[in-house]
Amino acid sequence: MNEPLIRYKNVEIHQQEVCVLKEVNLELNKGEFAYLIGKVGSGKTSLLKTFYAELDIASGEAEVLGCDMRHIKRKHVPQLRRKLGIVFQDFQLLIDRTVYDNLAFVLHATGWKDKAEVKTRIEEVLKQVGMSSKGNKLPSELSGGEQQRVVIARAVLNSPEIILADEPTGNLDAETGRAITQLLHDISDSGTLVVMTTHNLQLLKEYPGKVFRCANHVMSDITEDYAEAGEVKEKINNI
């Protein structure tokens, strides 16, 4: 049986000494797709930040890819983050570089030296996200959905075991948001754990996965509420 890639037991998370979330219990495995839902300020992004050691954990047991997140040393954080792909809502692409150069920058920064290998890998990920013909474009020449596809390409460059996507569809129209969610779902089907925060409950019906709700400083597993034919039950309709 595989060890969970993320395992939290009775975890408590604080922001500036204020408790944001408590009683966080979850186990997430290779190839799973998990949603974090909840109102703005409910702790979704704070929880994501603990996965890549941007935010400390106040108490409980927490492991990400075998690392003890309560006691991880700062010098070991870059090594952990190289195994993670992070997708932000606001893209964070280098605006003065082409798509190709944005991706090459990441590969060079993570130790890739062979130019032919860099070129091959960039071509692979651009094809994977449906952007093969856009390598020479600047971010400003792309639509929002295209920019987000480049961000996902950047996230998968080093074949991460986990992708963390923070509201990746938040700035996109509904149709483009579905396409981005489908792309992330396809990536999870290939064996990568994907954790995605979203306000769009329609996506949960169309692209099933585990569902965790953050509310009243507590995170709850409500996957069962979405299990019956993708129906969203009334008791969680007021998020």
- The full set of domain ranges for the chain reads 1-83+160-239, 94-159
pLDDT digits (tens, 9 = 90+) for 142-195: 999 999 999 999 999 999 999 999 999 988 899 999 999 999 999 999 999 999
The predicted pLDDT at position 233 comes to 45
CB-side neighbour CA atoms (13 Å) of 97: 12
Instruction: Give pTM, 2 decimals.
Output: 0.89
**2 or 202: whose pLDDT is higher?**
202
pLDDT digits (tens, 9 = 90+) for 205-227: 899 999 999 999 999 998 887 76
Instruction: Determine the Cα–Cα distance for residues 70 and 235; give it in Å rounded to an integer.
Output: 34
What are the percentages of helix, strand and coil residues in the chain, rounded to 5? 35, 25, 40
The predicted pLDDT at position 231 comes to 52
**Which residues, at least 6 apart from 135, have a Cβ–Cβ distance to it below 8 Å?**
98, 99, 100, 122, 123, 126
Token representation of residue 229: 């034919």
H or E element, residue 18: strand 18-28
Instruction: Determine the Cα–Cα distance for residues 69 and 103; give it in Å rounded to an integer.
Output: 28
The predicted pLDDT at position 210 comes to 95
The predicted pLDDT at position 91 comes to 73
**Would you call 32 helix, strand, or coil by DSSP?**
coil
Token representation of residue 32: 């799973």
pLDDT average, residue stretch 20-39 = 95
- Check pLDDT > 70 for residue 230: no
pLDDT average, residue stretch 114-139 = 95
H or E element, residue 50: helix 44-51
The predicted pLDDT at position 125 comes to 96
Q: How many CB atoms lie within 10 A of CB 206?
A: 12
The predicted pLDDT at position 146 comes to 94
Instruction: Determine the Cα–Cα distance for residues 106 and 208; give it in Å rounded to an integer.
Output: 31
CATH level 3 topology of 1-83+160-239: Rossmann fold (3.40.50)
Q: Is 109 exposed, middle or buried (0-12, 13-18, 19+ CB in 10 A)?
A: exposed
- Check pLDDT > 80 for residue 235: no
Residue 28 — very low, low, confident or very high, per pLDDT cuts 50/70/90?
Answer: very high
**Would you call 95 helix, strand, or coil by DSSP?**
coil
Residue 90 — very low, low, confident or very high, per pLDDT cuts 50/70/90?
Answer: confident
The predicted pLDDT at position 236 comes to 47
Residue 239 — very low, low, confident or very high, per pLDDT cuts 50/70/90?
Answer: low
pLDDT average, residue stretch 32-47 = 93
Residue 228 — very low, low, confident or very high, per pLDDT cuts 50/70/90?
Answer: low
Q: Nearest 5°: CA angle at 83, between 61 and 30?
A: 70
The predicted pLDDT at position 234 comes to 45
- Check pLDDT > 60 for residue 198: yes
**Which residues, at least 6 apart from 170, have a Cβ–Cβ distance to it below 8 Å?**
89, 198, 199
